[in-house]
Copies of this chain bind each other. A is one copy, B any other.
Amino acid sequence: MPNDDLMTIREMCDAFDVTPRTLRFYEARELIFPERRGQHRLYDRRDRARLILILRGKRFGFSLEQMRQLLEIYEPGGCNRTQIAATLSVGRERLADMERQYAELREAIDELKQHIADAEQRLATAQDDTKTG
């Protein structure tokens, strides 16, 4: 049962707001593995799932290489202990990164909110330079 829901590179680009160059680049870096129908690439559900994870990882500041390593944990992939263990290790590190970042982000948000509130105060009491130039 092959995944019928195959998409061309253009459909992928429209769906995920990326360029063909980006998809080919990710493929060259071995983050996604579209099939080939003749010369053309065809992307299935698995490729899309991986792309979503890649793009999300990027927003968190992870590199493509970090995501490539991490993606292995989202696949059945290797079936021997050493390989699974290695993947697990990478996954746990990445998880720790993300939890640190989560906590830090909470602090940063609260601080920024405070400074925004302060700025709103300043705005309210500031002289109106459009009148009192």
Which one, B58, B82, B130, contacts A129 given CB within 8 A?
B82
By the criterion CB–CB under 8 Å, are B116 and A105 in contact?
Answer: no
14 A-B pairs in the complex with CB atoms less than 8 angstroms apart: A59-B101, A60-B61, A73-B112, A79-B126, A79-B127, A80-B127, A81-B123, A81-B129, A84-B123, A85-B123, A91-B115, A91-B119, A95-B112, A98-B105
**B116–A60 touching, CB < 8 Å:** no
Q: How far is the CA of A116 from the CA of B95 in the complex (A)?
A: 9
What residues make up the interface of A, taking CB atoms closer than 8 Å to B? 56-61, 70, 73-74, 76, 79-82, 84-85, 87-88, 91-92, 94-95, 98-99, 101-102, 104-106, 108-109, 112-113, 115-116, 119-120, 122-123, 126-130
Cβ–Cβ < 8 Å partners of A129 in chain B: 80-82
For A97, give the chain B residue with the smallest CB separation. Answer: B59
What is the predominant secondary structure among interface residues of chain A facing chain B?
A: helix
Q: A105 to B60, Cβ gap below 8 A?
A: yes
Nearest residue, chain B, Cβ from A80: B129
Evaluate contact between A119 and B81: CB separation under 8 angstroms.
no
